[in-house]
A = this chain, B = another copy of it.
């Protein structure tokens, strides 16, 4: 017997559907039993034929009942053992909202940007402009390699500012380094299996290449970048480097080593992945030109990002593939789809074409230079000779070596936490070994001047 309730907000046909479905699933209505005809059921329930017909149609569409011509509807045979769970089996309900993120008075995150720095109003204008121009383009998939206009803007910016010489055809728009490396891993894996990475170095490339079953070969970093002799004696055929601002140590690879690295790559079809993640941010002199520009036709995969200057939350980056990889890339990714929203790509293109991007870089360079200088002054006045600063003059962080401290990194991180200071382990950058002396990573991008001063003062007391 089924009961329909007119005051229930659930539509009548749905109420009937639910009740019949429940009886089928619990076995009360066995397989092949005949349901009353639509007309009879309607009379029985004092409901309209439409109501009953609606319920039957849904049950039929989902396979709970079947129909025989001129005979009516019958219950389908279901495997009782695997009957579906009712809603009581539901894992949990979302009636809670996320709490606020953990707060620290001083957060030395190495890649946090200035919280007031996002160009909200300009971005809004560029977005609205690109939305209005492109709303008809939103109904289809775009170019998997990225919007052509944005690629042209990036090409001309890279040539002017980074000495990268390429064609927009070589540029792939990506949603961050991890995606670029995923693509590179994929297109190189047929003939390569060992990747050299800097040690200490960024964890992400290790992680991505490992997930593609590559062997990771950590190579020490010297004051002039990755150790070329160690690289040569390894059996790596791909190397991931950060030549313009080594992550995390901040060293610049001199041109002689760059040329030697290019020579290494050219002897035997090896590949260099140049990650030029934050080279816009140099506070003394001009940015170091790219390695790619030294040999535009070489086996160099150049990677750049908008994360360090504009926003890491936009997930917008790019890479420049050498001509030798373009055919494989296209063949492999032809049937794929773009990974970045067309609206965001067009917004960025508009932002660049209107000159906002390069103005924004100059503005950010001034903001971060100020923070950088405050941090260095604070370190000098509070740590004095107890600390050796490495990697200053660029980027969003410096490295502090503390040869005299009695504390390990873990102890300092823990002591800092108790004082409301968040530090990020430098040791995460090391692959198998550990730094010889306790070393701290101090990001300054997200903090204001007084935070940098006070944070450093407190740090100096606990180190």
Contacts and interface: CB of A to CB of B under 8 A. Distances in A.
Given A315-B337, A316-B341, A115 B97 contact: no
Given A138-B311, A341-B315, A63 B256 contact: yes
A68 interface: no
A295 B84 CA distance: 5
Contacts of A135: 118, 120
A79 B256 contact: yes
Interface string A155-187: 110000000011111100001101100100010
B312 A62 contact: no
A296 B63 contact: no
Contacts of A258: 63
A210 to B, nearest CB: 10
A130 to B, nearest CB: 11
Q: Which of A90, A213, A252, A337 has the most CB of B within 10 A?
A: A337
Given A263-B79, A338-B315, A296 B149 contact: no
A303 interface: no
A287 B117 CA distance: 46
Nearest to A60: B285
A168 B124 contact: no
Interface in A255-302: 255-260, 262-263, 266, 284-286, 288-289, 293-297
Contact of A211 (B132, B289, B332, B446): B332
Given A82-B295, A136-B115, A152-B97, A341 B344 contact: yes
A416 interface: no
A329 interface: no
B118 A124 contact: no
A259 B89 contact: no
A146 to B, nearest CB: 11
B296 A85 contact: yes
A142 interface: yes
Contacts of A87: 165
Given A61-B285, A263-B81, A186 B211 contact: yes
Q: Which of A89, A118, A207, A323 has the most CB of B within 10 A?
A: A118
Contacts of A84: 259, 293-295
B255 A76 contact: yes
Q: Which of A124, A166, A259 has the most CB of B within 10 A?
A: A259
Q: How many copies of this chain does one complex carry? A: 2
Given A76-B254, A94-B167, A152-B97, A62 B289 contact: yes
A78 interface: yes
Q: How large is the interface on A (under 10, 10 to 19, 20 to 34, 35 or more residues)?
A: 35 or more
A61 B282 CA distance: 11
Nearest to A261: B82
B339 A315 contact: yes
B141 A313 contact: yes
B97 A118 contact: no
Contact of A323 (B62, B85, B91, B117): B91
A139 interface: yes
A77 interface: yes
Contacts of A446: 139-140
Interface of A: 14, 54, 57-58, 61-64, 76-79, 81-85, 87, 89-94, 97-98, 109, 111-118, 120, 123-124, 127-128, 131-132, 135-142, 148-149, 152, 155-156, 165-170, 175-176, 178-179, 182, 186, 203-204, 207, 211, 213, 224, 252-260, 262-263, 266, 284-286, 288-289, 293-297, 311-316, 323, 332, 335-344, 445-446
19 contacts: A62-B252, A63-B254, A63-B257, A64-B254, A82-B260, A85-B294, A90-B296, A94-B168, A98-B148, A98-B149, A111-B141, A115-B136, A117-B139, A118-B135, A127-B131, A178-B336, A203-B335, A204-B336, A314-B342
Q: Which 5 A-B pairs have the closest CB atoms?
A: A63-B254, A84-B294, A113-B139, A313-B342, A98-B148
Given A62-B288, A313-B343, 19 more contacts: A63-B253, A63-B257, A82-B260, A89-B296, A91-B167, A94-B167, A97-B149, A116-B136, A120-B131, A128-B128, A138-B313, A139-B311, A139-B312, A176-B337, A182-B182, A204-B336, A312-B337, A315-B338, A315-B341
